[in-house]
Amino acid sequence: MVVCIILIYLIIEVIVTNKYTRKSGEVDEFRPTCKTRSWSQEAFTMSSQQKEPKICGSVVGCLPETYGINISKLPLGEGRPWNQMKWMGKPARCRVKGHLIESLDDIYNFRRGWALKYVKDVEDKYHLVPWLLGNRVDLNLSKRRVYLDLGANSFKSSIQWFMQMYPCDFKEVHAFESNPNVFEFPKEEFDEDSNFKVQKNKNAIAVIKTPEIPKWMIKRMHIYNSLVSDFDDESTKIVNITRFIKETLKLKATDTVVVKMDIEGNEWSILEKWLEDSDMVDIIDELFVEVHYYHPSVRWDNKDHTRDQASHLFASLRTKGFYVHPWP
Ligand SMILES: *[C@@H]1O[C@H](CO)[C@@H](O)[C@H](O)[C@H]1NC(C)=O
Ligand SMILES: *[C@@H]1O[C@H](CO)[C@@H](O)[C@H](O)[C@H]1NC(C)=O
Ligand SMILES: *[C@@H]1O[C@H](CO)[C@@H](O)[C@H](O)[C@H]1NC(C)=O
């Protein structure tokens, strides 16, 4: 009897082991195959001598190699559903301002992962970290260092991220938020030494006040309760952002200027002007923009533009020399 049980056990063991042990050369179809080796070693370094194809300098060269592939037509198993996720990403075929930048895959300007509930955070932006210009050149070397947040929303949604994560010590922050109820000015900083109370459970330390933003950070911030567009209109509080950058702030090519733009559709008219404006491409070091368009899963209120047009806009901006990323 015992011998019988041991025998059955051994037979099952052999079957199971065979089923899950891959012979060499076999591809694991459940995981996307990792093809990163040909580029990963040099991908994040400034000195890499990656050869660029001849099409660089054209819009087509700046579009991703997968451009035009209809993802819903790919059979399940070829990377799906994982191609809905924002991976750290490959570098684009063409450099911008001489620097490697992430490939313009649609997922970076598309909330597919969020819409399909693969991720919880619509604002997930950590895939951008390796490609930040501030990680490639020292943006602290400019005397004037400005961060412009157009469509700031709450302090936590992007200003805080840029002040904490972006490798530049911004001396000025100019934030536009048209809805006065959305932007809550951060309160005073907290006192690190006396802000804790000890709980009954000694390991559960609790703060008395929620830590706030340091005063030095608040002093650098300027908040404008206006909408941003490509024309001025005082009666409806609309600001011509090009004029504001050139004439009000008097920003120059020698300054460090990083811009984030999330203005619910107004980006189209502004960016189409900037494509023809050689001052703006020199003034702005790095640009983050959420380009809005129509897609049933994205629920943006924009009926005028398609996702293809959004990809083309990004590619055109890069062709003109804007170091631009889809935001978030
Ligand atoms: C992609 O393919 C799906 C399924 O065949 C189709 O419904 C959809 O219209 C296609 N999208 C585009 C942009 O061609
Ligand atoms: C620029 O300054 C900030 C703040 O001091 C620092 O965190 C960052 O590493 C600096 N960047 C470089 C490239 O030195
Ligand atoms: C916005 O400002 C720019 C820069 O001053 C200017 O060239 C442009 O004509 C202005 N737009 C309008 C509609 O006035």
pLDDT in tens, the chain (328 residues): 656 666 565 555 545 444 444 344 433 333 333 433 334 444 444 444 567 888 998 999 999 887 877 766 767 666 566 666 777 878 999 999 999 999 998 778 777 677 777 777 777 788 899 999 999 999 999 999 999 999 988 887 889 889 988 999 999 999 998 877 766 665 555 566 777 777 777 777 677 777 677 778 888 999 999 999 999 999 999 999 999 999 999 999 999 999 999 998 999 999 999 999 999 999 999 999 999 999 877 778 888 999 889 999 999 999 999 999 999 7
For residue 54 and ligand 1, the question of a CB distance below 6 A is answered with no
Q: What are phi and psi of 205, to 5 degrees?
A: -80, 135
Q: Which residues line ligand 3 (CB under 6 A)?
A: 230-231, 240, 242-243, 246-247
Give this prediction's pTM: 0.79
What is the helix (H) or strand (E) element at residue 217, kind and residue range?
helix 215-219
CA angle 88, 91, 92 (to 5 degrees): 130
Residue located nearest, by CA, to atom 6 of ligand 3: 243
Residue 188 C-alpha to ligand 2 middle, in angstroms?
24
Q: Which two tokens stand for residue 298?
A: 């994205």
Domains of the chain: 134-180+212-328 (3.40.50.720)
Residue 32 C-alpha to ligand 2 middle, in angstroms?
36
Residue 18 C-alpha to ligand 3 middle, in angstroms?
71
Q: Helix 307-320 vs helix 267-274: angle between axes, to the nearest 10 degrees?
A: 30
